[in-house]
Amino acid sequence: MPKVTFLNKQGRVAVDCHEGETLLQAGLRQGVPLPYGCGAGVCSTCVARARPGTVENAWADAPGAQNLKHDKGECLLCQSLVTDDCEILVPGKIDLAQTLADTPAHYRARLHDVAVVAPDVATFQLSLEGQADYTAGQYFLIRLEGMQGYRPYSMTDFQREAQTLNFVIKRIPNGRFSDEIFSNGVSEAKVDVFGPMGLATFDPSDPQESRDLVCLVGGSGIAGIMSVLDRAVSVNHFESHRLLMVFGVRRREDFFFLDELRRVKESAPDNVSIHLAVSEEGSEEVDALSDFPLHQGFVHEVAEGLGDGVFENRLAFLGGPPAMLTGSLALLLGAGVPVSDIRYDRFG
């Protein structure tokens, strides 16, 4: 089994790497605090350096690899495989003397119970061989048997010692994993998974996070935020803190998880304020869809219209497509919310 040594000016740490395991997975699994965002070749957060020729790039066309300086040995830790011992130079700000408190692991799992809940949106479950603890807002990397590469999906609820994980998936045109679920009707499959991962998390037992929340979400970007809300409700968080949420989709028929949101509202009706937004309909058709106020416009536009000072002192969770994230980030930063109080994963 190859030995990988991660090093920088602050120190060095050596770990084992299983066959077929990426350098990122090997390091995180053994507690090395490596930088990452998506774990799937998209975000470029995991750039490191290796001696040219010592690591194999598992996915040359990865969007996150487009600006790598190959002549300087740059590689994505999440797409790099090794067959021999090697040394990897990681960014100097990583403290290699630290060890992660919670480490992700590999699991075999069964994918099942696919259910379409809105046009091009389905829920599915994974039954793990084993059990996993995760923090609300985290995700797992999922690899379908016979398919190259892992896809990140966020859990939609919060559990401890979970044996069955719950997800929601948005159909991606020509997406290989989503085609298996939607076009080829895969209702049961063997998968490899790795996790939990992700830093856009919520832990109300931490006094720093005992705060009012604001959640701005679009489409399937609601996934990890449902986990955050589930966790909050489980500790009656909204009895003493407020929630302001805007959930946007294109058309009225695209909404899903409304029953789950109703349960969040019922947990503390006076403190929970949930708004729905549709971006593609004429405002004259936008009337009561459910118990929640329904607005016309993009999520950040609707949020902006909710009044001055509504984001003050709130911990923010964002989820959705890139344009929604950009608009919502601009809104929150403009309203004076510090960057350290805004949490999100970039889906693409």
**Where along the sequence are the contacts to ligand FAD (CB under 6 A)?**
38, 40-42, 58-59, 139, 148-149, 151-154, 167-170, 172, 175-178, 198, 220, 223, 345-347
Under the binding rule (CB under 6 A), the answer on residue 37 touching ligand FES is yes
Under the binding rule (CB under 6 A), the answer on residue 27 touching ligand FES is no
Smallest distance from ligand FES to CB 80, Å: 9
Please name which of 341, 326, 328, 274 lies closest in space to residue 301, comparing C-alpha atoms: 328
What would the two tokens of residue 327 be? Answer: 């608009």
Smallest distance from ligand FES to CB 297, Å: 31
Smallest distance from ligand FAD to CB 97, Å: 27
Under the binding rule (CB under 6 A), the answer on residue 80 touching ligand FES is no
* Dihedral of alpha carbons 178, 180, 184, 190, sign: negative
Measured from the CB atom, the residue of 86 and 229 that comes closer to ligand FES is 86
Residue 63 CA to residue 268 CA, distance in Å, equals 43
Binding at 44: pick from ligand FES, ligand FAD, none (beta carbon under 5-8 Å per type): ligand FES
Which residues 6+ apart lie within 8 Å of 268 measured at CB?
236, 238, 239
Under the binding rule (CB under 6 A), the answer on residue 36 touching ligand FES is yes
Stretch that binds ligand FES, among 38-46, 140-148, 176-184, 290-298 (CB under 6 A): 38-46
Residue 271 CA to residue 289 CA, distance in Å, equals 21
What would the two tokens of residue 201 be? Answer: 């998390």
Measured from the CB atom, the residue of 63 and 293 that comes closer to ligand FAD is 63
**Bridge partners of residue 146, in order along the sequence:** none
Residue 42 CA to residue 51 CA, distance in Å, equals 23
Stretch that binds ligand FES, among 39-47, 190-198, 302-310, 311-319 (CB under 6 A): 39-47
| Residue 241 amino acid letter | H
Question: Helices (DSSP H) in 54-143: which residue ranges?
Answer: none
Stretch that binds ligand FES, among 13-21, 44-52, 91-99, 241-249 (CB under 6 A): 44-52
In the list 45, 166, 227, 279, the residue contacting ligand FES (rule: CB under 6 A) is: 45
Phi, psi (rounded to 5 degrees) for 54:
-95, -15
Please name which of 25, 20, 234 lies closest in space to residue 140, comparing C-alpha atoms: 25
Measured from the CB atom, the residue of 148 and 205 that comes closer to ligand FAD is 148
In the list 39, 195, 218, 224, the residue contacting ligand FES (rule: CB under 6 A) is: 39
C-alpha of 298 from chain center? 21
Measured from the CB atom, the residue of 33 and 295 that comes closer to ligand FAD is 33
Tokens 């006094």: give the residue. Answer: 207
What would the two tokens of residue 316 be? Answer: 């923010």
Please name which of 291, 348, 298, 306 lies closest in space to residue 328, comparing C-alpha atoms: 298
Measured from the CB atom, the residue of 89 and 166 that comes closer to ligand FAD is 166
Smallest distance from ligand FES to CB 37, Å: 4
Measured from the CB atom, the residue of 38 and 264 that comes closer to ligand FAD is 38
Binding at 78: pick from ligand FAD, ligand FES, none (beta carbon under 5-8 Å per type): ligand FES
Residue 39 CA to residue 24 CA, distance in Å, equals 8
Measured from the CB atom, the residue of 68 and 144 that comes closer to ligand FES is 68
Using an 8 Å Cβ cutoff, are 186 and 280 in contact?
no
Tokens 């949420």: give the residue. Answer: 245
The alpha-carbon radius of gyration of the chain (Å, integer) is 21
Under the binding rule (CB under 6 A), the answer on residue 42 touching ligand FES is yes
Residues that bind ligand FES (CB under 6 A): 36-39, 41-46, 64, 76, 78
